């Protein structure tokens, strides 16, 4: 946890510094600029909130003496998918969860970049997040990837195949997301920030601030 918050701080700091550097028009062409620093920082924060939300929901099941009801069982990962859709709509981003061993096939790797990103997280266990310049659906933009690790509280539903709750066995006949161990890479979040959106925001900001 300590490492994680350190990473986020460092990332936000890096983005802020680059924002400061690119502030002066003289520096803009000389210094390598991170595209959309503001939005990237916002995306990083939103994804941290999402990750915290999932851990919180999952750990509320853990150690509970009551047998979880169908409803509480369903309230762990599905709300994350719904929040991802909401974040996409609010910001003009595309927010997704992606996993090689997926439960919901909407979360299968969607292109070669995503496959490479998963392989990179697999190879580098210390890597928590990074971003890349990509073209998605014919739009250029920045895609931020953030790893998702398996925690003890996830095993109730992503542990041994035979121990999965009945609603998972029934609802996801093609399920691949089981037999995980604590610390395994579960998947990643992928947030695509299209350049066009950035331009639209920039234009409206410029209009509000007459030079
Ligand atoms: C109560 C059962 C339950 C628990 C506990 C649980 N999950 Fe899930 N998980 C699911 C279900 C069901 C889905 C499929 C949701 C959907 O259809 O979008 C899922 C989907 C996911 C996905 C999306 C990729 C995919 O496979 O479709 C990720 C990532 C994920 N879970 C990670 C975690 C992590 C990390 C934890 C622990 C912090 C966790 N889950 C705990 C039931 C659970």
pLDDT at 108: 97
Rounded to whole angstroms, the Cα distance separating 114 from 129 reads 13
Ligand 1 centroid – CA 3 distance (Å): 23
Minimum CA distance residue for ligand 1 atom 20: 77
Q: Kind and range of the H or E element at 117?
A: helix 112-123
User: Does the beta carbon of 155 sit less than 6 angstroms from any atom of ligand 1?
Assistant: no
Task: Say if residue 201's pLDDT is above 80.
Answer: no
From the CA of 105, give the closest atom in ligand 1: 27
- 182 neighbors 150 (Cβ within 8 angstroms): yes
pLDDT value at 198 more than 70 = no
Is the pLDDT assigned to residue 45 strictly greater than 90?
Answer: yes
Give, as one character, the DSSP assignment of residue 75. T
Mutation probe of ligand 1 site: the residue of 1, 73, 77 with most atoms within 8 A of C-beta: 77
Give CA–CA dist 168/73, Å, rounded.
9
pLDDT of residue 36: 81
pLDDT at 200: 65
Percent of the chain past pLDDT 70, that is, above it, reads 73
**Considering the entire predicted model, what is its pTM?**
0.83
Measured from the CA of 187, which atom of ligand 1 is nearest? 29
When pLDDT is cut at 50, 70 and 90, the band that residue 125 belongs to is very high
- The best mutation among 68, 103, 176 to test binding of ligand 1, ranked by most ligand atoms within 8 Å of the C-beta, falls on 103
Q: Is 36 in the pocket of ligand 1 (CB under 6 A)?
A: no
Highest mean pLDDT among 34-38, 58-62, 96-100: 96-100
What phi, psi does 134 have (nearest 5°)?
Answer: -145, 160
Compute the distance between CA of residue 148 and CA of residue 88 in angstroms, rounded to an integer: 19
């Amino acid at each position: 946890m300590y490492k994680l918050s350190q990473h986020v701080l460092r990332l936000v700091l890096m983005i802020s510094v680059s924002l400061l550097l690119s502030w002066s028009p003289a520096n803009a062409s000389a210094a390598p600029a991170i595209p959309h620093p503001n939005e990237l920082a916002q995306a990083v924060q939103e994804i941290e909130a999402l990750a915290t939300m999932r851990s919180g929901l999952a750990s509320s099941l853990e150690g509970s003496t009551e047998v979880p009801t169908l409803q509480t069982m369903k309230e762990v990962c599905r709300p994350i998918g719904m929040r991802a859709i909401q974040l996409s709509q609010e910001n003009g981003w595309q927010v997704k969860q992606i996993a090689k061993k997926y439960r919901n096939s909407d979360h299968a790797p969607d292109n070669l970049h995503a496959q490479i990103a998963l392989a990179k997280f697999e190879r580098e266990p210390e890597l928590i997040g990074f971003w890349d310049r990509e073209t998605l659906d014919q739009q250029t933009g920045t895609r931020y990837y953030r790893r998702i690790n398996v925690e003890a509280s996830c095993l109730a539903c992503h542990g041994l195949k035979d121990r999965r709750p009945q609603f998972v066995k029934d609802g996801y006949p093609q399920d691949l997301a089981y037999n995980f161990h604590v610390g395994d890479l579960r998947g990643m979040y992928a947030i695509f920030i299209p350049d066009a959106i950035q331009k639209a925001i920039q234009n409206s900001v410029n209009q509000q601030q007459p030079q």
